[in-house]
Chains A and B, each alone.
Chain A
Amino acid sequence: MNVSQESSDNGEIVLRLEVDSERVGRHMNAAVRRVSQRVNIPGFRKGKAPRAILQNFVGKEYLVEEAMESLVPEAVGEAVREQELAPFAPPRVDNVEQTEPTVTIVATVPLRPEVVLGDYQSIRYDEQPEEVTDDAVDALLMQLRRSQAYSLTAERAADENDIVTLDLKVTADDELVWDFEDRQFQLNLDLETYGEVFVGLHQGIIGMSVGDEKEFSFEVSEDNESPQFAGRTVQVNAHVKDVQEEVLPALDDALASSVGLPEVETVEQLTTHIRSQLEERAEQTFVNGIQNRLMTEVVEGSEFTISPIIVDHESQHVLERYVQQRRSVAARTGQQFNVEDLTEEDVNEAKEIAEREIKNSLVVQSLVEAENLEVSEDDVTKEIELANENATSEEQKLEDNEETRESVIGFLKRRRTIERVVNMARGQSEDASAAMAAG
């Protein structure tokens, strides 16, 4: 096989391969054998028809095409190895020319994209994580109390947040919409959670006592989301059978210890715990936000030479993921989704996503190379142990071998580099970022 490099530009190398007749013949023979096993020719058992008859039956082009399917990848793969190239994605075959008895193939090999990193070291963000307010802590404490609330029969008129059992008849512009006569319909008079229709209904019922019967009506606005009621006058006929009030448990040490958190036995400890959790969450959200902004900024400030073949290849993966998602969504509604249903818009969007993903991963890789952080053997061992402690099944557990260690080193380097760069952007000192990386 004769291989020559035609040109190299845009992160690609174009190869011209002249495949000798011996190799072409070998692949033709294999193709004949394969096709002959597949095709049913009257008068012959499968695989028994002579080559000439098979060729007459399926046509020479078919056999050649079959032969090329195995010849082209083999020849291109060999040429890439021979030229000592490192393709970043599968090479693209541009042309296959039959120059009997040889075959000439022109293929483009995408090389590792080149990245010139922008000045990431001078990026600074002055913002701080959102402060955790007392209201946020109180809201969580209230949520906890409501989760342990119980209901008691109230010897009074119905009020907000009570649970009322009633016979209910609701009509909208004289059309019967709900009829819950003798069906023990329960209504939670929670004004905050429910929409406009229920608020109108709730406000009418608040103040009614057991045994009360009342007719009232209210107007619903045109833009109400429920089409049964939008823009109509709703008439309600209600007969209250029972009123239950929600009893919240007291915020005391018993409630605090019932949560079951280690070392939390008093209200003070619980409040401190909730506050620290909220602060941790706020810090995490803040760091994630900074990280996303930083990555976008670094990507925008960097220069890339990426072969379009790599983007096309990656966009195929993106499309596959997208098709899978659409299929599972469609399956839930009893519909089908096929690859043919993809629009040009989907394909273009997939390309954009693919390009963004490639650029992001290239930037991370370049940052890792630029920062060149050390990862010790101990760190790797600790990380593997930690992963195995958190594994929920035997299958998830990592085997401590060369391959695993290699990938854990890569993972740790990426994580620490990102942490370090984010800390730099937050104006935190080298020591602090080093300590965080080690932790």
Chain B
Amino acid sequence: MKIARTLIRPVITEKSTLLNEQNRYVFDVDMKSTKYDIARAVEWAFDVNVVSVSTYRRRGKMKRRGFREKKRPDVKRAIVTLAPGDSIVLFEGA
């Protein structure tokens, strides 16, 4: 898995901001990426040490437009715990 393609976007929501206080950061990641890939990608991109990675798949919602019903793509989401003392500036918004 190519490191540069692993991380799709950071997730900045109310819930993820609360997790930031526990030094945990949330990303949407490539469907095929493994926890190992994610940890390496975060370490490479933000120059931090990753302690653990949890992942889950968000099922795409079914959306109807007239008669047509389509499924939105599934997304893999990762919660990355950093080593104490590390942080990602992107999430601090400054």
- A and B: bona fide binding partners: yes
Q: Are B11 and A53 in contact (CB under 8 A)?
A: no
Given the known interface contacts A50-B17, A53-B17, the answer about A43 and B93 at a Cβ–Cβ threshold of 8 Å is: no
Number of A-B contacts (CB under 8 A): 24
Q: How far is the CA of A49 from the CA of B12 in the complex (A)?
A: 10
Chain B residues within 8 Å of A45, by CB: 14
Q: How far is the CA of A42 from the CA of B16 in the complex (A)?
A: 12
Minimum C-beta distance from A32 to chain B (A)? 12
- A261 at the B interface (CB under 8 A): no
Most-contacted residue by chain B among A42, A43, A45 (CB, 10 A): A43
Q: Are B13 and A43 in contact (CB under 8 A)?
A: yes
Instruction: Map CB proximity to B onto A50-86 as digits: 1 under 8 Å, 0 otherwise.
Output: 1011011000000000000000000000000000000
Instruction: Map CB proximity to A onto B8-52 as digits: 1 under 8 Å, 0 otherwise.
Output: 000111101100000000000000000000000000000000000
Chain B residues within 8 Å of A52, by CB: 92-94
A contacts with B: majority SS? loop
Chain B residues within 8 Å of A56, by CB: 93-94
Chain A residues within 8 Å of B13, by CB: 42-44
Residue of A nearest to B20 (CB): A50
Chain A residues within 8 Å of B16, by CB: 43
- A48 at the B interface (CB under 8 A): yes
Q: Are B94 and A49 in contact (CB under 8 A)?
A: no
Chain B residues within 8 Å of A44, by CB: 13-14, 17
The range of chain B's interface size is under 10
Chain B residues within 8 Å of A48, by CB: 14
Q: How far is the CA of A56 from the CA of B89 in the complex (A)?
A: 13
Chain A residues within 8 Å of B93, by CB: 50, 52-53, 55-56
Interface size on A, residues (CB 8 A): 11
Question: When the two chains form the complex, which single residue of B11, B14, B92 contacts A49, counting CB atoms closer than 8 Å?
Answer: B14
Chain A residues within 8 Å of B12, by CB: 43, 53
Chain B residues within 8 Å of A50, by CB: 17, 93
Residue of B nearest to A51 (CB): B93
Chain B residues within 8 Å of A42, by CB: 13
Chain B residues within 8 Å of A49, by CB: 14, 17
Chain A residues within 8 Å of B92, by CB: 52
Q: How far is the CA of A218 from the CA of B22 in the complex (A)?
A: 102
Instruction: Map CB proximity to B onto A341-369 as digits: 1 under 8 Å, 0 otherwise.
Output: 00000000000000000000000000000
Residue of B nearest to A52 (CB): B93
Chain A residues within 8 Å of B17, by CB: 44, 49-50, 53
Q: Are B94 and A43 in contact (CB under 8 A)?
A: no
Q: How far is the CA of A45 from the CA of B13 in the complex (A)?
A: 9
Q: How far is the CA of A43 from the CA of B94 in the complex (A)?
A: 18
Q: How far is the CA of A52 from the CA of B11 in the complex (A)?
A: 15
Chain A residues within 8 Å of B11, by CB: 43
Minimum C-beta distance from B20 to chain A (A)? 9
Residue of B nearest to A53 (CB): B93
Chain B residues within 8 Å of A43, by CB: 11-14, 16
Q: How far is the CA of A252 from the CA of B60 in the complex (A)?
A: 100
Instruction: Map CB proximity to B onto A6-49 as digits: 1 under 8 Å, 0 otherwise.
Output: 00000000000000000000000000000000000011110011
Chain B residues within 8 Å of A53, by CB: 12, 17, 93
Residue of B nearest to A55 (CB): B93
Minimum C-beta distance from B87 to chain A (A)? 13
Instruction: Map CB proximity to A onto B71-94 as digits: 1 under 8 Å, 0 otherwise.
Output: 000000000000000000000111
Q: How far is the CA of A52 from the CA of B14 in the complex (A)?
A: 13
Q: How far is the CA of A44 from the CA of B13 in the complex (A)?
A: 6
Minimum C-beta distance from B61 to chain A (A)? 16
Instruction: Map CB proximity to B onto A99-135 as digits: 1 under 8 Å, 0 otherwise.
Output: 0000000000000000000000000000000000000
Q: How far is the CA of A312 from the CA of B16 in the complex (A)?
A: 52
Q: How far is the CA of A71 from the CA of B60 in the complex (A)?
A: 48
Q: How far is the CA of A52 from the CA of B89 in the complex (A)?
A: 11
Q: How far is the CA of A44 from the CA of B16 in the complex (A)?
A: 10
Contacts A43-B11, A56-B93 aside, 10 further interface pairs with beta carbons under 8 A come to: A42-B13, A43-B14, A43-B16, A44-B13, A48-B14, A49-B17, A52-B93, A52-B94, A53-B12, A53-B93
A–B Cβ pairs within 8 angstroms, 24 of them: A42-B13, A43-B11, A43-B12, A43-B13, A43-B14, A43-B16, A44-B13, A44-B14, A44-B17, A45-B14, A48-B14, A49-B14, A49-B17, A50-B17, A50-B93, A52-B92, A52-B93, A52-B94, A53-B12, A53-B17, A53-B93, A55-B93, A56-B93, A56-B94
Closest 8 A/B residue pairs (Cβ): A43-B13, A52-B93, A53-B93, A44-B14, A56-B93, A48-B14, A52-B94, A52-B92
